């Protein structure tokens, strides 16, 4: 068994134009001061030059060296926004244009080509950095039809997942060439939003070895999935982990769907670590049991607590949750040693 690595922190929710969150060097100092030893890097901010990283091993070595001097490493690169644009239903075109450069706004074909190229650059950059995993979204061709009313026409889901697989297969191949696992965050709004949909996608890409999971229990709790059983089912595909808390408190007015309410009023809400309902002790135990070798990375999203307070509290929470796995059995002191004769006598019922 291997001990989970961490604590790490996803920088997407903190990066901004305001110091110290505007430059990688200074936001790294901020993260290290809180006790983080890993950072998950978004690739759509000024913190990191994705194109340069894909083309230059020297640039990657320089970034890694700068972070190492601060006691930090990169856990994964993130292309959540670009991954979303690999597959977009037309109902969401106007909203998702904002995730892409202005040069491709209003041009679905160009936007999708840009997103696909971004993922392929991320594969090369991850390889240059020596990373084992990458995190992203799957996008969605079918989310508009997640509820079966009006009745879905026969074949819609099969064709939708077939097309999704066709879009992602060359990207998965690029990650395979780079030796990096591509981990999809299982998330509402994406076609890969639960175990069943992940299985359908896996079928569509022929069980591709690089098609893996970013496990975030908050999204499972808000759907009322069994987030512990999910680990039992899919542990061999879980290659990344967002440590994010949530709570679900249904009432007589709304439930899982939230009634179009703002986050603060929804029955299901994301919370800072320790403020929600998720049993992280059990999660860390299961991941240790199944020999998860990756990182535990805080993703801060809370409608109540200040982000810096959430970040400050997150590092010790994760550190205290990580189980340093044992290198021996607890009852080794009573080991009688290996004796073939004794084993034979035991099985034969002889003294």
DSSP string, 258-279: GGG--GGGSSEEEE-TTSSS--
Pairwise CA distance, residues 53 & 203, whole Å: 32
Pairwise CA distance, residues 55 & 49, whole Å: 10
For 32-42, letters b (16+ CB in 10 Å) and e give bebbbbbbbbb
Q: What is the pLDDT of residues 45-78, one digit of tens each?
A: 999 999 999 999 999 999 999 999 999 999 999 9
Looking at residue 345, its pLDDT comes to 79
Question: What pTM value is reported for the model?
Answer: 0.95
Q: pLDDT averaged over consecutive 10-residue blocks of the chain (351 residues)?
A: 95 96 98 98 96 98 98 98 98 97 98 98 98 98 96 97 98 98 98 98 98 98 98 98 98 97 97 98 98 97 96 98 83 68 79 68
* Phi (first) and psi of residue 145, to 5 degrees: -115, 20
Do residues 315 and 35 touch, judged by C-beta distance below 8 A?
Answer: yes
Pairwise CA distance, residues 136 & 172, whole Å: 12
Looking at residue 336, its pLDDT comes to 67
Q: Give the distance, in angstroms, between the CA of residue 230 and the centroid of all CA atoms in the same chain.
A: 14
Pairwise CA distance, residues 59 & 185, whole Å: 28
Q: Angle at Cα 104 formed by Cα 102 and Cα 109, nearest 5°? A: 165
DSSP conformation class of 27: H
Quick one: which of 281, 211, 212 has its CA closest to 243? 281
Say if strands 245-248 and 268-271 run parallel, antiparallel, or are unpaired.
antiparallel
For 268-290, letters b (16+ CB in 10 Å) and e give bbbbbbebbebebeebbebbbee
Domains and CATH numbers, the chain: 5-348 (3.20.20.150)
Q: Is the dihedral of CA 275, 276, 282, 287 positive or negative?
A: negative
Q: What is the pLDDT of residues 287-342, one digit of tens each?
A: 999 999 999 999 999 999 999 999 999 999 999 999 998 877 666 666 767 777 77
- The answer for residues whose C-beta is within 8 angstroms of residue 263's C-beta and 6 or more apart is 269, 270, 303
Per DSSP, which regions of the chain are E strands?
5-10, 38-42, 73-79, 133-136, 181-185, 211-215, 238-243, 245-248, 268-271, 295-298
Pairwise CA distance, residues 90 & 108, whole Å: 9
Pairwise CA distance, residues 87 & 78, whole Å: 17
């Amino acid at each position: 068994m291997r001990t989970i690595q961490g604590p790490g922190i996803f920088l997407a929710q903190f990066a901004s134009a305001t110091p110290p969150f505007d430059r990688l060097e200074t936001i790294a100092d901020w993260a290290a001061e809180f006790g983080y030893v890993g950072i998950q890097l978004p690739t759509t901010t000024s913190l990191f030059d994705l194109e340069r990283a894909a083309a230059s091993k020297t640039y990657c070595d320089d970034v890694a060296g700068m972070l190492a001097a601060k006691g930090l490493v990169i856990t994964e690169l993130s292309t959540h926004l670009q991954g979303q644009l690999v597959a977009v239903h037309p109902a969401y075109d106007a909203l998702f244009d904002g995730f892409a450069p202005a040069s491709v706004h209003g041009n679905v074909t160009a936007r999708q080509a840009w997103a696909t190229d971004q993922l392929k650059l991320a594969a090369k950059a991850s390889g240059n950095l020596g990373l084992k995993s990458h995190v992203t979204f799957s996008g969605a061709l079918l989310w508009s039809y997640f509820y079966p009313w009006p009745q879905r026409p026969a074949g819609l889901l099969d064709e939708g997942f077939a097309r999704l697989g066709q879009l992602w297969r060359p990207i998965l191949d690029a990650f395979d060439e780079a030796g990096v696992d591509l981990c999809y965050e299982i998330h509402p709004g994406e076609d890969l939003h639960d175990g069943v949909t992940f299985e359908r996608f896996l079928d569509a890409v022929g069980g591709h070895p690089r098609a893996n999971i970013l496990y975030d229990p908050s999204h499972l709790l808000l759907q009322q999935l069994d987030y512990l059983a999910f680990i039992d089912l899919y542990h061999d595909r879980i290659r990344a982990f967002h440590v994010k808390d949530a709570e679900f408190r249904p009432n007589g007015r709304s439930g899982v769907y939230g009634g179009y309410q703002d986050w603060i009023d929804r029955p299901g809400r994301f919370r800072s670590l320790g403020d929600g309902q998720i049993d992280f002790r059990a999660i860390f135990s299961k991941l240790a049991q199944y020999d998860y070798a990756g990182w535990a990375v805080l993703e801060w999203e809370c409608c109540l607590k200040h982000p810096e307070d959430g970040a400050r509290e997150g590092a010790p929470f994760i550190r205290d949750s990580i189980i340093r796995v044992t290198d021996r059995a607890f009852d080794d002191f009573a080991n009688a040693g290996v004796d073939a004769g004794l084993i034979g006598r035991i099985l034969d019922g002889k003294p």
